[in-house]
Structure 1
Amino acid sequence: MATSEKNETTTEAPATVSELEREGDIAADFIEELLDICDLDGDLDIDARNGRAYVSVVATEAGGLERLSRPDAVAALQELTRLAVQNKTGAYSRLIMDVGGSREAREAELERLVATAAERIDEGAASAALPPMSSYERKLVHDFAAARGLVSSSRGEGRDRHTVITRA
């Protein structure tokens, strides 16, 4: 996982929409095969935005994807899918996976964490440290903090890397 986090933060030329759509198609084929093997049903949505391909698996029946929608399972599935895309394209993929709306739920949770940190700072705290999280989640936190007029920075190494929010 450390390797992928380092790769995610490197500067690369932005992918074209057609390249991102191809990544999404390759990822969708891989995930469809995996769902078939696991005897799970799900609809796939493919999107390209912010220089990344996004692939979402949406349950077609109640209770079909709950195990795959856990954060650790989504992260593992995303990593496997990125490797499948890289195997076909020869290039590192920054694809983002979502299963059963788990990413949206996590984004809402991160937004609440930033709101709570902002309240602590408004009440006089010099800074507010958030728990360790992935590079993608830290990027979201930086965006949420900036939207509130706050400054954020990532600190720590490896699994302990976290975000600290301060007043601008």
Structure 2
Amino acid sequence: MESTVTASPDSVPETDVRDSSSLLEEEGEVAADYLEELLDIADLDGDIDIDVDHGRAAVEVVADDQSSLKHLVGKDGEVLDALQELTRLAVQTRTGERSRLMLDVAGYRAGRRVELTALANETIETVRSTGEKVALDPLNAFERKVVHDVVTAAGLTSESFGVDPNRYIEVGPASA
């Protein structure tokens, strides 16, 4: 049985009325509040930069002495990944919306993006010269996204296989 629901303009939820940029700005503000509290609890000095990047709220924790924030990054960015998930949950709790917020601490992700772009470009050259697929070592979701974007922009194919934390990418020649 099919049913139709009509809503008056007064019954439309507030989040449907606001534009996406203001929602992303709100995500950034909520995340900044959450992270400021965390920095206070951990007795760490840092500033919070908020931006919107590629349709996502982007928040970065920076400090004059970036090394003072290394505990928030952890080995291979593991603490940063966990902190990002906690921050996304704080945003979701406050806004009622699932967050795709990207968090960076002390420029870790920005530096990693440069490294991964170089790796992807080297892999692209190998695939082009051999015509064979190349499998990369396991990468986290952020890292896989960077590689997929570079490979796609170069006109080749990439596909993820496996299950985290062993999920990896295979780069192949352009599909015919």
TM-score under structure 2 normalisation?
Answer: 0.81
Q: Is the 8 A contact 1:69 1:101 kept in 2?
A: no
Per the alignment, residue 10 of structure 2 pairs with: none
Indicate which of 97, 107, 111 corresponds to 2:113.
107
Relative contact order (alpha carbons < 8 A, sep ≥ 6): 1 or 2 greater? 1
* 3-state SS of paired residue (1:91): coil
What is the CA–CA distance in structure 1 between the aligned matches of 2:156 and 2:62, rounded to whole Å?
A: 34
- Within the candidate set 59, 62, 79, 2:63 is matched to 59
CA–CA separation in structure 2 for the residues paired with 1:124 and 1:117: 11
Change (3 A) 1:16 1:62: closer
Counterpart for residue 36 of structure 1? 40
Is 1:94 equivalent to 2:100 in the alignment? yes
Q: Quick one: percent identity of the two aligned structures?
A: 47
One-letter amino acid matched to 1:99: V
Unpaired segments ≥5 residues, structure 1? 1-12
CA distance in 2, matches of 1:45, 1:138: 24
1:80 to 2:83 alignment: no
Instruction: Tell me, yes or no, if the aligned pair for 2:51 and 2:57 is still in contact at 8 Å.
Output: yes
| TM-score, normalization by structure 1 | 0.85
How many equivalent pairs are there? Answer: 155
**8 A contact 1:152–1:164 mirrored in 2:** yes
Which secondary structure state, in structure 1, belongs to the residue aligned with residue 72 of structure 2?
A: coil
1:91 counterpart letter in structure 2: E
What do the CA deviations read for 1:88-133 (whole angstroms, capped 9, x no partner)? 1112111110000000111112112112212322331511111222
2:172 is paired with a residue whose SS is strand
Structural RMSD (CA): 1.8
Contact persistence 1:113–1:130 (CA under 8 A)? no
Question: Which residue of 2 is the match for residue 25 of structure 1?
Answer: 29
1:135 matched to which residue of 2?
141
Give SS of 1:57's match. Answer: strand
Q: 1:63 to 1:17 in 2, by over 3 A?
A: same
